Amino acid sequence: MTSKINPAAETAPAAAAEGNGKRRRALLILATVVVVAAIVWLAWYLLVARWHQETDDAYVQGNVVAVVPQTAGTVTRIDADDGMKVEAGQPLVHLDANDAQVAYDQAVANLANTVRQVRGLYSSVDAGQADLRARQVAVQQAREDVKRREGLVASGAVSREELAHARDLLASAEAALSQAGGNLSRSRALVDATTVAKQPQVEAAASQLRQAYLNLQRSAIVAPVGGYVAKRQVQLGQRVQPGATLMTIVPLDQVWVDANFKETQLGKMRIGQPVKLHSDLYGGDVEFDGKVAALGMGTGSAFSLLPAQNASGNWIKIVQRVPVRIEIDPKQLAEHPLRLGLSMSADVTIRDQNGPVLAPARRADKPLFATAAYEKQLADANELISGIIEGNLAKAGK
């Protein structure tokens, strides 16, 4: 009896073996890919990622300079509005200057009158010296008359009454000499070791004029710094008081970024480390170069109006964030200006850890921010005072 072999039974084990081989190769390839990816990721972490700290909790910050009046007054003119660019010293708001003008005119007249009076004091010293010399001569003559008559009384050539009269004349001359010396001392006390410009009465009048001049100049409120006007609040006809904010100026060339990093990211962060910045305004097309300028002295909650009180039974630990100030390259900032409050992302390279954690002390003679917008006013006032003094001296013939 002949047996028949089923062809399907013979091909089944072969197909199963072939399927197992494909699956094994697929798993081997997958495992290889996973291992290679793990090696690549590990290499990337060791060589790159562990030297970077990133955050997108970062925002543009800057100086917001308030424009405030230094004297009270009524607004009569406004020369700047939101978004306008202004320069340091440029007038922005004008106040009614009539009262200040009147006070200024009175101060000018008072200084001129004081200079003339002080010149009179110098003249009185010269006159007092001449009077003192004349009194000295009179006393000397009276003494000689008394001495001569004393020698003639014994011989009877001169009566005792005449001698007494001569002695009275000597006493009167001596009293007049003493009075002249006192008057001269008083006159000298007012002008000794001084010039007309440095005499106390003239300096007091000059100070009054300087204040009146400044009050007149301050009726035109100028920009302390250059920048762009923001938040104009002042209106025409408004009565303003010293210290009231009329508008603000934002110097966009002085902005920086405050990046809020987790406390676990600050362990190897140092001042001076390079930073790459991206703004949501420009997207990934623009990259800013910066550097760490300072590490915050506390978390945001530590400086809040109501600090968190964690001494309670329901305390839950929350990772805190610390602000890190980042300076931006000025050239890039000029090419791509930023506005206050814009969102940023920051990537700090922490490979170089030679920098300090705390900023060193700054030199006191190098201010961080300064303005010279008001210096010209005082210089002009001093020049005006010098002109008034010299003019009145010339008119007096000196």
Predicted confidence (pLDDT) per residue in 96-138, tens digit: 999 999 999 999 999 999 988 888 777 776 676 776 787 777 7
Tell me what pLDDT residue 40 has: 87
Q: Which residues contact 196 (CB under 8 A, 6 or more apart)?
A: 115, 118, 119, 122, 202, 389, 393
Closest to 182 (Cα-Cα) out of 124, 228, 251: 124
pLDDT-derived band at 42 (thresholds 50, 70, 90) equals confident
Looking at residue 227, its pLDDT comes to: 94
Residue 95: per-residue pLDDT: 96
Q: What's the mean pLDDT in 17-22?
A: 71
pLDDT reported for residue 148: 73
**Would you state the pLDDT for residue 190?**
64
Q: Are residues 234 and 266 in the same domain?
A: no
Q: Are residues 209 and 267 in the same domain?
A: no
Most confident of 146-150, 305-309, 332-336, 375-379: 332-336
pLDDT at residue 255 is higher than 80: yes
- pLDDT tens digits, 46-90: 776 788 899 999 999 999 999 999 999 999 999 999 999 999 999
Do 85 and 150 lie in one domain? The reply is no
> Which one-letter DSSP state was computed for residue 56?
E
- Do residues 385 and 109 make contact, with C-beta atoms less than 8 angstroms apart? no
Host domain of residue 89:
65-96+218-250
- Flag whether 58 is in a domain: no
CATH code of residue 292: 2.40.30.170
Task: Answer whether residue 172 is part of any domain.
Answer: yes
92 and 237 housed in the same domain? yes
Q: Which amino acid is at 52?
A: H
213/159 Cα distance (integer angstroms): 73
* Helix runs in 2-97, H state only: 7-47
Q: Do 234 and 173 share a structural domain?
A: no
Domain identity same for 243 and 332: no
**CA-to-CA separations, 153 to 17, 144, 165, 167, in angstroms, rounded:** 170, 14, 13, 13
* Burial of residue 65 (number of CB atoms within 10 Å: 0-12, 13-18, 19+): buried
For residue 344 the two structure tokens come to 């940023």
For residues 240 and 384, state if they share a domain. no
Q: Are residues 192 and 114 in the same domain?
A: yes
Give the mean pLDDT of 284-299.
92
Of 72-76, 335-339, 387-391, minimum mean pLDDT range:
387-391
> Is 322 inside any structural domain?
yes
Give a yes or no: residue 296 inside a domain: yes
Same domain, 158 and 242: no
Judge whether 85 lies within some domain.
yes
pLDDT recorded at residue 155: 66
How far apart are alpha carbons 112 and 244 in whole angstroms? 36
Q: Are 184 and 275 contained in the same domain?
A: no
Specify if 277 maps to a domain.
Answer: yes
Instruction: Share the mean pLDDT of the chain.
Output: 84
Q: Give the amino acid at 344.
A: M
CB neighbourhood size of 248 (10 A):
19
Residues 85 and 224 in one domain: yes
Does 44 map to a domain?
Answer: no
pLDDT for 398: 42
Q: What is the CA radius of gyration of the chain?
A: 46
Residues in the chain: 398
Of the candidates 369, 279, 273, the one whose C-alpha atom is nearest the C-alpha of residue 326 is 273
Residues 295 and 191 occupy one common structural domain: no
Say which residue the tokens 């980042």 belong to.
326
Residue type, 12: A
Q: pLDDT grade, residue 172 (50/70/90)?
A: confident
CATH of residue 77? 2.40.50.100
Number of domains in the chain: 3
Identify whether 158 is part of a domain: yes
